Chains A and B, each alone.
Chain A
């Protein structure tokens, strides 16, 4: 049994960002890269992502709603206040996208056409910088984007709404690769 003064201590520790969160930020950066700019395959960049998007994903991991073997145990039991602190911190970091190798122009053109038909830039915004619960796609790692789109299409991920599983429904792997090529070509 933990005494109430201990609980109060834990609560204050959780609320007193940045000191309490410094260790955790370092832990985040050990995979997501300095300032949340990833240089590791399949690990997303989180720098500059919208606060609500980051909060949502951290809560999905905590609640066991998004399957990621590394993130789920890391987030277990993390309180809302620290989730919000972490989300605000990485939202405030400047994105420094790694310039991808020049994608195939034909795939980029095909991807642009698909994105236009599916109106991707309507929610993600025409510059693909995202807003609220909707992530920035411009500047994100291509390998991670492909994996994410396949997960939504295949019903392995739901997200804040069912929107993405519906928008991507019926796309072939080739079409998803084309969309990925287009998205990584964005400035």
Chain B
């Protein structure tokens, strides 16, 4: 018997006694109703990934797509099928790095990129127009998160936080294991991290819900920030199902983040979200309320969307909106300033593929709504319902060009304009 599962059961049975379940002005006091689909095994189990799948879905052919862990040579990457707006150009910038995902750039130009399944962090150097890469560290459990501050590289895996001090000057520096200071909760599902230092100097780390749909234990479904040494933890955003991308507005300094909607409801949603945090501790709805106000049928309560901050915009059904950056460079046309480029890894829990692109999101001047349009497309073919690439993160370079990491073929593209 899993002790944590039992604790969770007690909380479900006596909701009023569980302080973590009191959401501000969101139907406080009302015990939520958990459907059998969201938790079929009470009292012996805990909510899980398959839960929320109704019996009607039991024979669905949909399942997460297989990643590729072997090297893809450049001549097997169908670069010519990629499309960008007029005046833009896309090229392969670096390749041969299976599973490459979240990227960060050091002051001297070194780029580090995390992965999930293959357990590596790559280090990429730009040597006179040609890129070389090495594996900085391997054997980690999904080290997706990389961040840098004051020359210190942070590598964040599901169960580990490593810090490499002064790594650009000393490439062979051994990491300091600072895991204990961050008090990472144990569950693995949705626990891969996207990490970044904010303008406040703090390290922001999301902690996804350990399920598709469930009433999560109190340490999950949130975005936290820490001092660089792991002290001073604060929960910045709550009710966040699984955020794998965020950035800070270049002028307001507010945190904007993407969040993945739940699976197994239907093909059309709930859509992924782009959210904006205006106050610390703000509540974004999970598990009660999704997208633009869709109450959850499996974890339900009256007035499910009361007190929930609605998204700035939705980003497509099951499209997996992940890494995102505000564009602050001067290479792209002026109207791209303060636009957000969002990598959408692409759907699996949907009959017709959706996403598999980078979109440009242009927020309104008050930051309450946004326009979404294609930016980098061609990773999938709608007529055959097949894909070959999966963009997961974007990174702006000092010259204003943008790098896009493609996890499926282990390559990084460079998107530039003019010249």
Contact = CB atoms under 8 A, between A and B. Distances in A.
A163 B66 contact: no
B48 A118 contact: yes
B66 A132 contact: yes
A166 B188 contact: yes
A63 interface: yes
A165 B189 contact: yes
Contacts of B188: 155, 158, 162, 165-166
Interface in B10-67: 40-41, 44-46, 48-50, 53, 57-60, 63-67
A177 to B, nearest CB: 15
B190 interface: yes
Residue among A84, A131, A165, A169 with max Cβ neighbours from chain B (10 Å) = A169
A123 B248 CA distance: 38
Contact of A126 (B44, B46, B59): B59
Contact of A63 (B119, B189, B191): B119
Contacts of B138: 63-64
Interface residues of A, number: 36
B63 A83 contact: no
A59 B48 contact: no
B384 interface: no
A167 interface: yes
B46 A170 contact: yes
B63 A123 contact: yes
Contacts of B339: none
Contacts of B59: 121-122, 126
B211 interface: yes
Contacts of B46: 169-170
Given A80-B70, A161-B117, A122 B63 contact: yes
A80 B410 CA distance: 13
A16 interface: no
Contact of A119 (B50, B119, B191, B210): B50
A59 B5 contact: no
B186 interface: yes
A167 B139 contact: no
Contacts of A155: 186, 188
B67 A122 contact: no
B64 A55 contact: no
B49 A167 contact: yes
Contacts, number: 107
A24 B284 CA distance: 54
B73 to A, nearest CB: 10
A151 interface: no
B249 interface: no
A171 interface: yes
Interface in B105-163: 117-120, 138-139, 141-142, 158
A12 interface: no
A108 interface: no
A121 B49 contact: no
B35 to A, nearest CB: 13
B49 A163 contact: yes
B44 A170 contact: yes
A118 B50 contact: yes
Contacts of B2: 169-170
B382 interface: no
B190 to A, nearest CB: 7
Contact of A59 (B60, B69, B141, B186): B69
Contacts of B191: 162
A116 B211 CA distance: 18
Nearest to B36: A117
A160 B117 contact: yes
Interface in A8-46: none
A148 to B, nearest CB: 16
Nearest to A80: B70
B210 A166 contact: yes
A163 B189 contact: yes
A158 B141 contact: yes
Interface string A143-187: 000000000000100101111011101111001000000000000
Contact of B119 (A65, A131, A175): A65
Given A80-B71, A158-B141, A165-B189, 18 more contacts: A55-B70, A65-B118, A84-B70, A123-B64, A131-B63, A132-B66, A133-B67, A155-B186, A160-B117, A161-B117, A162-B142, A162-B191, A163-B189, A166-B188, A169-B48, A170-B1, A170-B46, A172-B44
Q: Sorted from nearest, which 10 A-B pairs have the closest CB atoms?
A: A170-B45, A133-B66, A132-B66, A166-B49, A80-B70, A166-B189, A162-B188, A170-B5, A162-B189, A64-B139
